[in-house]
Chains A and B, each alone.
Chain A
Amino acid sequence: MQYTFIALVEDKPGVLNRVASLFRRRNFNIESLAVGRTEKTGVSRMTIVTNCENDTDAHKIEANLYKLVNVIDVQDVTRQPSVTRDLALIKVKATPEQRSEINNLVAIFRARIVDVAPDSVIVEATGTEDKVEGMIELLRPIGIMEMVRTGQVAMTRGEHCGIRRTPGANGNGWHPEEIVPVGAD
């Protein structure tokens, strides 16, 4: 099953390498990893999507992330109310006559054409992974020439936060019982 983690890390050289290397060494698979700045200077945020068998594996990932000195906080947002987004740029073969057909198609997904060339267009699609997948499937028969995706980014809704399964890790005082995991509302 796919699990999604949010990790706050110190914005220092080599931290991405440490995280990636940890996943490789502990034999976990990264499905996608997105990194960027946050509202705090010096802190970067990673959204890591990974395949785990179960919550015990998720615990392992969390606890191992905490072992990295530069990792400040880890949350598992897999089952928490959250907004997740993936962005794709898809270059599709398109004669001038096909453009309007493509335009109609992508409109259904609230995607849009962001570049037009004589024999191709670039479609930008944003949304949950499922939605982006759906878009791609529809465009495939027309002829995808090139595609790039950012990988997921995630944010919990409102006051909700992710699950922290690692009691005592990083002195965060988190303890499963003391946190009431919020279900979908």
Chain B
Amino acid sequence: MKLSGAEILWECLVREGVEVVFGYPGGANMPIYDAMLSYPVHHVLVRHEQGAAHMADGYARASGRVGVAMATSGPGATNLVTGIATAMMDSSPTVFITGQVHAHLIGGDAFQETDVTGITLPITKHNYLITRADEVAEVVREAFYIARSGRPGPVLIDICKNAQIEQTEFEYPADCKLPGYQPPWHAPKSDLQKAVELIEKAKKPVILCGHGVMMSGAEEVLQHFAVKTNTPVAMTLLGLGAFPASHELSLGMMGMHGEAHCNLAIQNADLLLAFGMRFDDRVTGTLATYAPGAKKIHIDIDPSEIHKNVKADVPLVGDLKTVVTDLVPMVDEYEHEEWMMQIKEWKADGDARSIMSWPEDGKLHVSHLVHSLWNATEGGAIVTTDVGQHQMWTAQYYFMEKPKRWLSSGGAGTMGFGLPSAIGAWFAQPDEEVWTVVGDGGFQMTQAELSTAVQENANVKIAIMNNNFLGMVRQWQEFFFEKRYSAVNMRTPDFVKIAEAHGIPARLVTKPEEVQDAITFARNTPGPVLLEFRVEQEEAVYPMVPTGAALDQMLRRPVRQETE
């Protein structure tokens, strides 16, 4: 039977298991939207295509399945770009489908023609331009396979309008013919042996656990390995949740705003086992002084990560779960008593400085609020964040026990990610409690999606940490620019009224004694709810490794500090 290219697209999406797509229609994808009506796929009409991209990304991160977003040509497609780059930096399995002008018009600056495959070339894992209907099935099949396999990432499909309309015979391809794409699985035995030799000799080992642990589903085997070898586990921002925060081997988060004892452990280690992480500059501090005494075993599915930032003594290229599963029977149980004692000492010092031990001072501190939220939700919610100070505090104080529940834009640091990614996550896990913690700045970047949340009755709870500042930039200006505040002071609207204008129940919280009540109110009210917290305005995230400093040269919160 002959089908149109647009129908073939939906046939393929349904076969790929797609249940929901996030998108926005326009001239160049109207045949796709018309055909959609005959297929059992729920479409979420966003308010800006960036929102669609983050929703697809959030859906992917919370479910582990491929998230799909679509847009029309030209401005529709370019509005996706920030979201695509965000997904790329964090290896999120996503497929983006854009309409394109008729094939015969390409190159002629037709209305709403933009070279979308050109623009997205460096920010996609792969992309396609479809000019004929008979290409659709094969391309969609490949796109989904590429997006979710190997090191996952975004794939964009740009479909010319004529290819959406033309009729052709539909046959779903049984497999993909990709001679240049075969993601590796096992690492060679000889290299595993070399790794084992280093592991056996190590007195001060640390596992660095990254997003790759979740991407490969290696949480369980990681825990098995860590416990068997008695090795403490440090996590990157995106690795949070891959290893339970409450585990005695957990060191918490590493890096620029990581925990001091965690960074100290890394700097003093004699062996680093990097599991699906890429030694980003936010976790290494200056490379010249990074973990100088440590041998490095680097396990990654992407060979281009090996030696990219940090020279690996033993690189193991392969699927993390497979490689660690291969390693487990090869290693023994080891004692690292002295090392664990040392780490405990560092940790005690950190606890003494912790803001959590401050007495109640009548003010709202984001860290305290996050802690209250963690308590109320028993650490079980899916939490997404925006970008800035609140993001770091949430990472530090919402202790994640389980994977795929911590959604944050790490590599790209994209403000505006919080709300839409929470909506996407809710579609992935509608029975879970979903919270987004956002700053007043970033929230306003994709605030329009409040309206989407209402239309979909998305059960997401929004906590705005309003400090009337672009807090993180303000902190840098305070520390590194002699407190010369430039363009960081932000007048904000009445967020409660904005919520109410959308029909969203909302509360303003200004005092610590109102916090519990507000959180309970949000949890007990079905559908979207917004809480605005007026938080301490000029607070700094500690510890902090200034750019260019060694990882253990952290600015620490003074032990006894009167709050300003």
Where the two chains meet, the residues of A that have a C-beta atom closer than 8 Å to any C-beta of B are: 9-10, 14, 17-18, 21, 25, 56, 59-60, 63-64, 66-72, 166-172, 175, 177-178
Binary contact track B273-309/A, C-beta < 8 Å → 1, others 0:
0000000000000000000000000000011101110
Is A171 within 8 A of B180, CB to CB?
no
Q: Known contacts A59-B307, A167-B303, A168-B303; is A10 also within 8 Å of B180 by CB?
A: yes
Please name all residues of chain B whose beta carbon is closer than 8 Å to the beta carbon of A21 when the two chains form the complex.
121-122
Q: Known contacts A21-B122, A71-B180, A167-B317; is A64 also within 8 Å of B188 by CB?
A: no
Is B126 within 8 A of A169, CB to CB?
no
Is B182 within 8 A of A59, CB to CB?
no
Please name all residues of chain A whose beta carbon is closer than 8 Å to the beta carbon of B136 when the two chains form the complex.
none
Please name all residues of chain B whose beta carbon is closer than 8 Å to the beta carbon of A18 when the two chains form the complex.
121
| Min distance, Cβ B489 to any Cβ of chain A, angstroms | 36
Is A67 within 8 A of B304, CB to CB?
yes
Question: Is B480 part of the contact surface with A, judged by Cβ < 8 Å?
Answer: no
Is A167 within 8 A of B180, CB to CB?
no
Please name all residues of chain B whose beta carbon is closer than 8 Å to the beta carbon of A9 when the two chains form the complex.
180
Please name all residues of chain A whose beta carbon is closer than 8 Å to the beta carbon of B229 when the two chains form the complex.
none
Question: Is B183 part of the contact surface with A, judged by Cβ < 8 Å?
Answer: yes
Q: Classify chain B: how many residues form its interface, as a range.
A: 20 to 34
Q: Known contacts A56-B307, A168-B318, A169-B184; is A10 also within 8 Å of B179 by CB?
A: yes
Which residue in A17, A59, A63, A72 is a CB contact (below 8 Å) of B180?
Answer: A72
Cβ-closest chain B residue relative to A59: B307
Please name all residues of chain A whose beta carbon is closer than 8 Å to the beta carbon of B188 when the two chains form the complex.
167-168, 175, 177-178
Question: Is B315 part of the contact surface with A, judged by Cβ < 8 Å?
Answer: yes
Binary contact track B172-200/A, C-beta < 8 Å → 1, others 0:
00000011111110011011000000000
Which residue in B122, B182, B191 is a CB contact (below 8 Å) of A171?
Answer: B182
Is A17 within 8 A of B121, CB to CB?
yes
The 5 closest A-B pairs by CB, nearest first: A171-B182, A168-B184, A168-B317, A63-B304, A63-B303
Is B178 within 8 A of A14, CB to CB?
no
| Min distance, Cβ A27 to any Cβ of chain B, angstroms | 12
A10, A21, A69, A178 interface centre (most CB from chain B within 10 Å):
A69
In the assembled complex, the Cα of A178 lies from the Cα of B317 at a distance in Å of 15
Is A72 within 8 A of B179, CB to CB?
yes
Which residue in A63, A72, A175 is a CB contact (below 8 Å) of B306?
Answer: A63
Question: Is B311 part of the contact surface with A, judged by Cβ < 8 Å?
Answer: yes
Question: Is B117 part of the contact surface with A, judged by Cβ < 8 Å?
Answer: yes
Is A60 within 8 A of B121, CB to CB?
no
Is A171 within 8 A of B183, CB to CB?
yes
Which residue in B126, B183, B304, B317 is a CB contact (below 8 Å) of A60?
Answer: B304
Is A171 within 8 A of B184, CB to CB?
yes
Is A70 within 8 A of B180, CB to CB?
yes
Question: Is B146 part of the contact surface with A, judged by Cβ < 8 Å?
Answer: yes
In the assembled complex, the Cα of A158 lies from the Cα of B184 at a distance in Å of 29
Please name all residues of chain B whose beta carbon is closer than 8 Å to the beta carbon of A25 when the two chains form the complex.
122
Is A56 within 8 A of B311, CB to CB?
yes
| Min distance, Cβ B314 to any Cβ of chain A, angstroms | 11
Q: A69-B178, A178-B188 are in contact. List 20 more A-B contacts (CB 8 A).
A: A17-B121, A21-B121, A21-B122, A56-B307, A59-B307, A60-B304, A60-B308, A63-B302, A63-B303, A66-B180, A66-B303, A68-B180, A69-B125, A72-B179, A167-B191, A167-B317, A168-B184, A168-B187, A168-B317, A177-B190
Is A170 within 8 A of B117, CB to CB?
no
Can you list 30 A-B pairs, Cβ within 8 angstroms, ordered by A?
A: A21-B121, A21-B122, A56-B307, A60-B304, A60-B307, A60-B308, A63-B302, A64-B304, A66-B303, A66-B304, A67-B302, A67-B304, A69-B180, A70-B180, A72-B179, A166-B317, A167-B188, A167-B191, A167-B315, A168-B184, A168-B303, A169-B184, A169-B303, A170-B182, A171-B182, A171-B183, A172-B182, A175-B191, A177-B188, A178-B188
Cβ-closest chain A residue relative to B180: A72
Please name all residues of chain B whose beta carbon is closer than 8 Å to the beta carbon of A167 when the two chains form the complex.
187-188, 191, 303, 315, 317
In the assembled complex, the Cα of A177 lies from the Cα of B188 at a distance in Å of 10
B179, B180, B190, B308 interface centre (most CB from chain A within 10 Å):
B180
| Min distance, Cβ A175 to any Cβ of chain B, angstroms | 5
In the assembled complex, the Cα of A90 lies from the Cα of B304 at a distance in Å of 40
In the assembled complex, the Cα of A175 lies from the Cα of B303 at a distance in Å of 12
In the assembled complex, the Cα of A125 lies from the Cα of B129 at a distance in Å of 40
Which residue in A72, A169, A177 is a CB contact (below 8 Å) of B317?
Answer: A169
| Min distance, Cβ A97 to any Cβ of chain B, angstroms | 51
| Min distance, Cβ A68 to any Cβ of chain B, angstroms | 7
Cβ-closest chain B residue relative to A172: B182
| Min distance, Cβ A165 to any Cβ of chain B, angstroms | 9
In the assembled complex, the Cα of A25 lies from the Cα of B183 at a distance in Å of 23
Cβ-closest chain A residue relative to B319: A168
Cβ-closest chain B residue relative to A67: B304
Cβ-closest chain A residue relative to B128: A14
Binary contact track B94-135/A, C-beta < 8 Å → 1, others 0:
000000000000000000000001100110011001000000
Please name all residues of chain A whose beta carbon is closer than 8 Å to the beta carbon of B317 when the two chains form the complex.
166-169
Please name all residues of chain A whose beta carbon is closer than 8 Å to the beta carbon of B129 when the two chains form the complex.
14
Please name all residues of chain B whose beta carbon is closer than 8 Å to the beta carbon of A175 when the two chains form the complex.
188, 190-191
In the assembled complex, the Cα of A64 lies from the Cα of B302 at a distance in Å of 9
| Min distance, Cβ A77 to any Cβ of chain B, angstroms | 19
In the assembled complex, the Cα of A166 lies from the Cα of B188 at a distance in Å of 12
Is A166 within 8 A of B179, CB to CB?
no
Cβ-closest chain B residue relative to A177: B190
In the assembled complex, the Cα of A10 lies from the Cα of B180 at a distance in Å of 8
In the assembled complex, the Cα of A146 lies from the Cα of B181 at a distance in Å of 42
Is B126 within 8 A of A69, CB to CB?
yes
Cβ-closest chain B residue relative to A62: B303
In the assembled complex, the Cα of A164 lies from the Cα of B268 at a distance in Å of 34
Please name all residues of chain A whose beta carbon is closer than 8 Å to the beta carbon of B306 when the two chains form the complex.
59, 63
Is A69 within 8 A of B308, CB to CB?
no
Is B307 within 8 A of A69, CB to CB?
no
| Min distance, Cβ B220 to any Cβ of chain A, angstroms | 23
Cβ-closest chain B residue relative to A165: B303
In the assembled complex, the Cα of A137 lies from the Cα of B9 at a distance in Å of 59
B126, B188, B302 interface centre (most CB from chain A within 10 Å):
B188
